[in-house]
Structure formats: C-alpha cells, structure tokens
C-alpha cells in the first residue's frame, strides 16, 4: 500500500509541475498539496490500474459539485459551478474536507469510470500533417482515431487556428479557436482550404459519442 501511495504522490507531483501549469491554476495548486496528503492519496488509490489518477480524482469531485447535492464552499472556486468563481482563502482546505465528506461517492466514481481525454489543441500539430498527406497522395482523407474518447479530434477541419505570425486558418466562426506558438525558422505549410475528409472513424474502449 505504501508503495502505491508513493507512486500516486509522484503522479500528482508530475501533474502539478508539468501538466496543469498554464491550463488550470486551481488543479495545479490542489495537486501540489495532495502530494503529501496520505488521506487524500488513499481515497485516490481506489482508481483502476493505469488511469491518470489526478484527472480522474478532480473529475469525480467536479462531477459531484455539478450535481448540486451539497452546497459545499468548494464549489465557489469552480467557474463551471459558481459564476463567476467567488472563493476566498485556501481552496485546498475546502477541497480536502469535501473529499473526506464524500469519499464513498468519490471511491465509487474513480473505481468504475475511466479518464477520457479530449485535448483538441493537439489538432494544431495534426493539421499540417493532414495537409501534407493529402497534398502528397492527391487523395481525399479517411481519418481513423484510435483512443478517440468523444471524437473531438476527428473534427479538426471544423475548428479555427491561430498560428500567430504564421497566420490564421480554418473556421473563424467556430466556437473552438486553437492557438499555437511557432518556434524556430521552419513554418508549417497550411492550406487556406482544408483537405476534404471522406470518412471519420473513432475507436475507443469506452466511446463517449464519437461523430
């Protein structure tokens, strides 16, 4: 058990330092504190083997807050629950009390659910590759995404892209606008008109509604 908690602690440390900075200051702060909190690590240890435990734990907490079954002060730190977020003070104290209060519900969720990641920003890197394949093959594309989750990356040609000095491409009216910082002297060759996609197939162990 001690070895499992140590591994979990290292996973939360990695997420606090490498994954959440720049994307979720709240999760970054919480993950950094969980690293040394054996009680919360013990709750998180009920997840399935191989899961991204930090994402799974925070998703379970977020899910319970969205249910509105309890009006815990922790909800005031979440923009999706409190509009706008109005929490004051140290969010970890409230996070910890919520996790211990709802530990049975959290254990059930993380032991029966899987992490589904839909990181659409990676489409900024996929777009030049799809354009190259279509240009070199001179054929329409058929896209297969293995590990598709909800299939959001299958819709890459419907989003807007902003490469800064490299230009803007895609659908300027799409609610999904993806920024990308270019580094180095080489600039990706991106067409003004995206390649036609003939078919899209998403394959996943637990599909969430692939298009």
Structure confidence at residue 10 as a pLDDT band (50, 70, 90): very high
| Nearest residue to 66 via CA among 111, 98, 100, 44 | 98
Alpha helices in the chain (DSSP H): 2-14, 25-34, 38-44, 53-67, 91-101, 103-112, 123-137
| Measured distance CA(44)–CA(61) in Å, rounded | 11
Whether the model pTM is above 0.85: no
Which pLDDT belongs to residue 69?
A: 54
* φ and ψ at residue 136, rounded to 5 degrees: -75, -35
Q: Are 61 and 75 in contact (CB under 8 A)?
A: no
In three-state secondary structure terms, 41 is helix
Give the mean pLDDT of 181-206: 89
Between 117 and 19, name the one with better pLDDT: 19
- Answer whether residue 187 shows pLDDT above 90: no
Tell me the pLDDT tens digit for each residue of 91-132. 999 999 999 999 999 999 999 988 877 789 999 999 999 999
Q: Which residues contact 211 (CB under 8 A, 6 or more apart)?
A: 151, 154, 155, 200, 202
191-197 contacts, C-beta under 8 A, 24 or more apart: 191/131, 191/135, 194/127, 194/130, 194/131, 194/157, 194/169, 194/170, 195/130, 195/131, 195/133, 195/134, 195/135, 195/140, 195/141, 195/157, 196/140, 196/141, 197/140, 197/141, 197/142, 197/143, 197/157
Which pLDDT belongs to residue 159?
A: 97
What percent of the chain lies above the pLDDT cut of 90? 64
- What's the whole-number average pLDDT of the chain? 90
Structure tokens at 160: 């807007």
Rounded CA Rg of the chain: 20
Tell me the pLDDT tens digit for each residue of 44-89. 999 988 889 999 999 999 999 998 755 788 999 998 888 777 777 8
- Answer whether residue 138 shows pLDDT above 60: yes
| Nearest residue to 71 via CA among 98, 48, 92 | 98
């Amino acid at each position: 058990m001690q070895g499992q908690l140590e591994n979990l602690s290292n996973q939360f440390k990695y997420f606090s330092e490498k994954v959440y900075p720049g994307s979720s200051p709240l999760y970054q702060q919480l993950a950094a504190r969980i690293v040394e909190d054996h009680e919360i690590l013990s709750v998180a240890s009920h997840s399935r083997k191989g899961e991204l435990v930090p994402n799974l734990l925070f998703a379970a907490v977020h899910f319970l807050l969205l249910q509105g079954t309890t009006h815990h002060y922790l909800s005031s730190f979440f923009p999706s629950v409190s509009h706008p977020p109005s929490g004051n003070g140290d969010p970890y104290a409230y996070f910890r009390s919520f996790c211990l209060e709802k530990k049975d519900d959290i254990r059930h969720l993380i032991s029966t659910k899987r992490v589904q990641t839909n990181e659409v920003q990676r489409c900024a890197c996929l777009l030049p590759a799809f354009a190259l394949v279509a240009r070199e093959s001179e054929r329409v594309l058929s896209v297969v995404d293995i590990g598709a989750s909800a299939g959001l990356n299958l819709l890459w040609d419907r989003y807007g892209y902003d490469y800064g000095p490299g230009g803007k491409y895609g659908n300027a009216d799409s609610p999904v606008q993806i920024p990308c910082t270019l580094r180095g002297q080489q600039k990706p060759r991106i067409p003004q008109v995206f390649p036609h996609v003939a078919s899209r197939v998403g394959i996943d162990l637990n599909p969430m509604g692939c298009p």
